[in-house]
Amino acid sequence: MIHLATRRHHRLLLFVVGMLAVAMPALAQPGTHVAHPDAGVVPPWPELERPHVQADSPLPLRFDPQGQRPVIMMTGYWPPSNEALRRFSPNPEQNPAGWIGSNWEGSGYDVVSFFPEFVPPNCDNCGKGTGDLEVDYQDTSLDFWHIASEVKPIAIITFSRGSTNLSWEVEMNQYNRLVWINDYLPPLQPTPAPPDGSVPANTLRLSKLPVKEIVNAVNEANLGLNAFVCYSGDGGGFLSEFIAYHGVWYQAINASPASPDWCIVGGHIHVGGLVSWETARQAAEITLRQVIQRVDTVVGTTVVQEDIGYGGPGDARLAVAGDALVTGGTADLMLYDAPANTQVVFVGSRQFHPRHYLGGTIVPLPPTVLKRVMTDENGRYLRHEAIRGGHGPRTFYLQAVYDDPSQLLGKGISNAVRLEFLP
């Protein structure tokens, strides 16, 4: 015999899941935020597209990207920028002295570097080089996205050779140029151009490096360098600015703390051509320490709402992260690892009543929030500042139900997240 209360929950579950197939028009339109029932809604931010690239062949990544520590990624081009980073290379052929980036200086971060090689190593007219990230638009883009997708860095610093002087120039501006300076091999321009199709041509992306802190620290080290921030110029329109744009572009795609690929810092530094390799190495390490301090600060002030489990069937994950949910605080919401271009219903409640259904468990019952959205072509849905804090203290439970043809009953259920709203 089924008790009346159980019958009610069963009917409610049928209603919740049935909304995906039957009652979609009654729900909010795609792009609507999921918010506390008493909270305001922030206008949606533009979505960022993740480029689809595939390297011609797998790169020999000797670093284990599945390690437990977050990773900081650095790239170089012509010397001295590549030589400054050599000891952070996880490739023993490029770094026979051994990788020093494992838990570097006890920081809790692994640091890796990637760069091409040149003949002679102290070249003046260096050309495109050989190996990772050759000074070539197509090779750089393919290698960059392949490496970044494997490493999933929490911070990216790109370096290249700048003017023939003793400068440490921290670039502020990177442009999504339509026209670039020709490289060495056809096609001489990027393909596509502009490289970033998610924004208009010549869109400016700014550095997310702690630029002032880097400049101050390098100058205070008395290395004989002139460290400064270039606020008004650009990266030069050649491969330096091209890889610089890739770094800040990747960071922008993964800027949300709710993302499994969260990237906090991205930016570029031009190293003067007269800087010795040893001095460049010291300045790179000083820069790295400042970046770590910035990352630590951001991580330390970010609140991740509790994942209480109950996920499945399906692989989709739900995350909410950002400020503490106090008055004035906001948090991002992200669903990832769901099927591409699929419909999703967010189910929320102030009550915690787990009930088994469709091979999984629905936690927030009875539901007081139902919103419909679509995942993107990568199986993700992201909304910045989707949830506003305040109106607490109170607890709210959130979960996602989505179409998943690979499941026996055609539906998937994400993990549940417990939101703690504060005054």
Structural domains of the chain ordered from first start: 15-44+303-421 (2.20.130.20), 71-300 (3.40.630.20)
Q: Tell me the chain's radius of gyration from C-alpha atoms.
A: 24
pLDDT in tens, 162-203: 999 999 999 999 999 999 999 999 999 999 999 999 999 999
Q: What was the pLDDT predicted at 66?
A: 56
Q: What was the pLDDT predicted at 367?
A: 81
Low-confidence ranges of the chain (pLDDT < 70): 1-67
% residues pLDDT > 90 (the chain): 82
d(C-alpha 187, C-alpha 46), whole Å: 32
Q: Which of 250, 239, 259, 248 is nearest to 184 (CA)?
A: 239
pTM of the model as a whole: 0.85
Burial environment of residue 102 by CB neighbours within 10 A (0 to 12, 13 to 18, 19 or more): middle
| Contacts by residues 193-196 (CB-CB < 8 Å, ≥ 24 positions apart) | 195/51, 195/137, 195/141, 195/242, 195/245, 195/246, 195/249, 196/51, 196/245, 196/249
Place of tokens 């290395």: 223
Q: What was the pLDDT predicted at 371?
A: 87
The residue type of 135 is V
d(C-alpha 419, C-alpha 396), whole Å: 5
d(C-alpha 355, C-alpha 59), whole Å: 46
pLDDT in tens, 85-143: 999 999 999 999 999 999 999 999 999 999 999 999 999 999 999 999 999 999 999 99
Q: Are 82 and 287 in contact (CB under 8 A)?
A: no
